[in-house]
């Protein structure tokens, strides 16, 4: 497993997005924990979660508690758990947003308890709250860093201007941006390029969009046949692995975090780091979605 820089840490170049282990149609707990352990065995050292990753009402922190249980059985693996606060799930399939500083502080303290750690390696603001000034929400992240509750901070679902403002407030403590980015959804390419210039890690969520069904896609949705499928057939691999290799080729600061609910899937994702793509292949892949 090759590594990439995330703040002051070196983490696996492909992480694990743990959300599918806790939301709708999630696997049973034993299979979920086995999936996490398979990620560790494959060399994955970055796991992404959030307090809002749950299915039913009253399950706040389901995913964080699951990860804490899985990691407790495998101490010493050097895993960086990145969690997020600022969103909620009432249990009816919808999402809410709350960027008030008091809420962010309380959310972080809850995550600390559920993850069973004295300090969160990476704490990210899940989404800007239009009802709260951005500077106030980001200032709450700075306060968490200053209080020693959070080692580094990140922001998610943001614009270039919001990244710049967050950088002004957090300085070097801002180490990541997590936006939607995939072959099918490239609206965040300007944010990716800004992160590249600033030396900030860019963590694409739902990185397989257009190649495979996402945990957020509706039932019956299916990806089209794409150049990713063609290159996969030529290379004797899967479109998902080609897609992750394409992400890695975008920038040395890109660290995709594909989700998984099976051990086989997470092992395949990890193997994408050993699939260098040629310039001709990258040109073909870039034609999709353009």
> Which residues lie below 8 Å from residue 238, measured CB to CB, with a gap of 6+?
232, 268
CA atoms 272, 278, 283, 284: torsion sign = negative
DSSP bridge partners of 174? 153
Q: Which of 7, 19, 50, 53 is catalytic?
A: 53
Q: Are 202 and 196 in contact (CB under 8 A)?
A: yes
What's the distance, Cα to Cα, between the start and end of the chain in Å? 31
What DSSP assignment string belongs to 63-127?
Answer: HHHHHHHHHHTSTTS--EEEEEESEE--SSS--EE---HHHHHHHHHHHHHHHT-SSBSEEEE-S
Q: Are 111 and 120 in contact (CB under 8 A)?
A: yes
123 is catalytic: no
Q: Are 152 and 173 in contact (CB under 8 A)?
A: yes
3-state secondary structure of 46: strand
Q: Per the structure block, which two tokens stand in for 36?
A: 């996490």
Q: Per the structure block, which two tokens stand in for 198?
A: 């600033």
Place of tokens 């070196």: 10
> Which residues lie below 8 Å from residue 271, measured CB to CB, with a gap of 6+?
42, 241
Task: Report, as residue numbers or ranges, the catalytic residues.
Answer: 53
């Amino acid at each position: 497993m090759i590594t990439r820089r995330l703040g002051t840490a070196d983490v696996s170049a492909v992480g694990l997005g743990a959300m599918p282990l806790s939301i709708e149609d999630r696997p049973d707990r034993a299979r979920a924990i086995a999936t996490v352990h398979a990620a560790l065995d494959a060399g994955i050292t970055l796991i992404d979660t959030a307090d809002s990753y749950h299915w039913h009402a009253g399950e706040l922190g389901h995913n964080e508690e699951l990860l804490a249980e899985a990691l407790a059985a495998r101490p010493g693996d050097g895993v960086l758990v990145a969690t997020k606060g600022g969103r909620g799930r009432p249990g009816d399939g919808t999402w809410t947003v709350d960027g008030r500083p008091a809420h962010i502080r309380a959310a972080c303290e809850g995550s600390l308890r559920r993850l069973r750690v004295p300090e969160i390696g990476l704490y990210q603001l899940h989404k800007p709250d239009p009802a709260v000034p951005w500077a106030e929400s980001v200032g709450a992240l700075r306060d968490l860093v200053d209080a020693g509750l959070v080692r580094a901070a990140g922001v998610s679902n943001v614009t270039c201007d919001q990244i710049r403002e967050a950088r002004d407030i957090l300085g070097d403590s801002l180490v990541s941006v997590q936006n939607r980015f995939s072959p099918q959804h490239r609206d965040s390419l300007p944010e990716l390029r800004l992160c590249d210039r600033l030396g900030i890690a860019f963590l694409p969520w739902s990185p397989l969009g257009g190649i495979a069904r996402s945990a957020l896609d509706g039932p019956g949705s299916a990806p089209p046949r794409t150049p990713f499928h063609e290159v996969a057939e030529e290379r004797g691999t899967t479109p998902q692995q080609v897609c992750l290799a394409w992400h890695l080729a975008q920038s040395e600061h890109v660290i995709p975090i594909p989700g998984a609910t099976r051990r086989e899937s997470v092992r395949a994702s990890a193997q994408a780091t050993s699939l260098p793509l040629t310039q001709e292949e990258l040109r073909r892949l870039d034609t999709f979605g353009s």
